[in-house]
Amino acid sequence: MLIARFCLCPLPSKENIMARYGEKASEKVGKAMHELKAGKLKSGTSGKKVTSRKQAIAIGLSEARKAGGKVPKDRSKTH
């Protein structure tokens, strides 16, 4: 016998959900992705051309942090 359980708790509305990333982060990551697709995005210290999508996102988030945008702490540096 299978008993179905339903949660009667209300789902959070869009207004109540806190944003993890701010507008500045979105702009910086978008700019980095645009540069990646154009082949103009370069890494910081070595100056080599970036080819990875994940690397482009990381560069955009790093720039947003430096600009004071709302971005969570870097996970690789917290451990």
Residue 32 lies in a domain: yes
* 43-67 pLDDT tens trace: 888 999 999 999 999 999 888 888 8
pLDDT value at 77 more than 90: no
High-pLDDT (> 90) share of the chain, %: 30
Amino acid letter, residue 36:
L
Contact of 39 with 49, CB cutoff 8 Å:
yes
Please give the radius of gyration of the chain, using alpha carbons only, rounded to the nearest integer: 19
* CA 53/CA 33 separation, integer angstroms: 7
Residue 54 lies in a domain: yes
Give the count of domains, the chain: 1
Residue 11: pLDDT band (50, 70, 90) is low
Verdict on whether the full-model pTM lies above 0.75: no
What is the residue range of 32's domain? 23-68
pLDDT value at 18 more than 90: no
